[in-house]
Amino acid sequence: MMSGAQRPSRRQLLALKGQTLRVSELLALFGERVRNYQTVPLIQEALQEVGLDTHPSFTTCGLMTDMLVVAYNPAPLADDAGDDEVPTGTLPQQSFKIGDIPSAREGIVAVKSTALLSNATHTMRQKNYSQLPVIDGLADLKGVITWSSITARYEKGETPTLANSMVKDSIPLAEVHQELFTHLPELRQYGYLLVRENSGNFVGIITAADITTRFHTLALPFFLVGEIEFRLRVCLGPKLTGDPVRVVKGPSHSGDFSKLMFGEYIKLLDGDQSNENLRLSANDNWKALGWGGVDRAQFVSQLNRVRVIRNQIAHFDEKPLDMLQIDELREFSGLLKQLL
């Protein structure tokens, strides 16, 4: 959580107007390292208090994107304004970059062009690699050694060496700022991508296994949250559409359950102790569901924990969800399935 001592002064924030900076630099001004459900709203509020914003928005842009600090121009308030949560049924909009795959920046194992072939093959066996780049210095790519390229020498009756076994043409290359999806055909064809920083230095390698791992890490929580939102609508919507929704959203609202924000599900079922109408309506709503074997307090508490996890996902927390959080989503989705 951001402390007052770490929050920049009004003068410091105003001095940012017109400057270009990256997400990491903005976070550092607030003494933070990652975007998450805690830091994003606090930084956003601090910027808006002094009339500033970033273009593109720091909440969704890529980590290496250059942002311009501009005057804050709030969008017109919609019918459901006032809830700062990410609307249900939406996903953050951000192009997926090569550099978003961890292995793209984790360093690259290579041999120099002066090495023996045995040095290369030993490293490949030791690390269970299918390929090994040959790089002099940080950026001078000479070629890539693969098991297939070595075998090809034997098939031609030649004695393989590092020099004659290197693949020198059609080497799949990518840069950290480039979009990942445009390089997927190359990754599928060759099984790997050598990754360069903008400076030209090689900084990592991406394999098909890295993509599978990253997809599981990123996509699984989204699918689980999507299941939960769908099952909540099916479980609650038919019985609570109309007046119960209007108590939460206001008497002029259409009463359409699908227009509720995720946090408003909690108000629908738990009310607000400071609002008598909400409290009484929530009591009636719970009775209307007829879930005799479900404890209301436990259900609402778990629903709130899921809300926090959902916002963490939607606000691009750099730290992946841990297994306890994944299990929380799975368990709640499973509970809702039983209530359908």
- Tens-digit pLDDT profile for residues 206-246: 998 888 877 777 778 888 888 898 899 999 999 999 999 99
Q: For residue 61, is pLDDT > 50?
A: yes
Q: Is residue 271 domain-resident? A: yes
Q: Which of 35, 57, 74 is the last residue of a domain?
A: 74
| 142 lies in the same domain as 220 | no
Q: Is residue 133 domain-resident? A: yes
| 218 lies in the same domain as 335 | yes
Whole-number pLDDT of residue 317: 54
Total domain count, the chain: 3
Mean pLDDT, range 193-204, rounded to an integer = 91
Mean pLDDT, range 165-176, rounded to an integer = 93
Cα 236 from Cα 288, distance rounded (Å): 10
Q: For residue 83, is pLDDT > 50?
A: no
| 129 lies in the same domain as 185 | yes
- Arithmetic mean of pLDDT over the chain: 84
Q: For residue 3, is pLDDT > 60?
A: no
| 222 lies in the same domain as 319 | yes
Q: For residue 273, is pLDDT > 50?
A: yes
Q: For residue 157, is pLDDT > 80?
A: yes
Longest dimension (CA), the chain: 88
Over pLDDT 70: what percentage of the chain? 87
Instruction: Output phi, psi for 224, to 5 deg.
Output: -65, -45
Q: For residue 4, is pLDDT > 70?
A: no
| 200 lies in the same domain as 225 | no
Q: Who's near 293: CB < 8 A, 6+ residues apart?
A: none
CB 142 within 8 A of CB 151: no
Q: Is residue 94 domain-resident? A: no
56 pLDDT band, cuts 50/70/90, is: confident
pLDDT in tens, 41-53: 788 888 888 888 8
Mean pLDDT, range 158-179, rounded to an integer = 93
| 196 lies in the same domain as 218 | no
φ/ψ bin of 179: left (φ > 0), alpha (ψ from -120 to 50), beta (otherwise): beta
Q: Which of 207, 225, 258 is the last residue of a domain?
A: 207
| 188 lies in the same domain as 248 | no
60 pLDDT band, cuts 50/70/90, is: low
The model's pTM: 0.49
| 203 lies in the same domain as 243 | no
| 255 lies in the same domain as 323 | yes
Nearest to 108 by CA among 126, 130, 134: 134
Whole-number pLDDT of residue 204: 95
Whole-number pLDDT of residue 223: 83
**Which string of DSSP letters, residue by residue, matches 12-33?**
HHHTTTT-EE-HHHHHHHTT--
Whole-number pLDDT of residue 94: 53
Q: Is residue 317 domain-resident? A: yes
| 334 lies in the same domain as 227 | yes
Query: Which position has the token pair 């119960």?
Result: 244
Q: Which of 207, 230, 251 is the last residue of a domain?
A: 207
Over pLDDT 90: what percentage of the chain? 43
Whole-number pLDDT of residue 74: 58
Q: Domain holding 195: CATH number?
A: 3.10.580.10
Q: Is residue 22 domain-resident? A: yes
Query: What domain range includes position 39?
Result: 4-74
Mean pLDDT, range 8-18, rounded to an integer = 89
| 311 lies in the same domain as 226 | yes
Q: For residue 80, is pLDDT > 70?
A: no
| 253 lies in the same domain as 274 | yes
Q: Is residue 108 domain-resident? A: yes
Mean pLDDT, range 54-79, rounded to an integer = 69
Q: Is residue 241 domain-resident? A: yes
Q: Is residue 138 domain-resident? A: yes
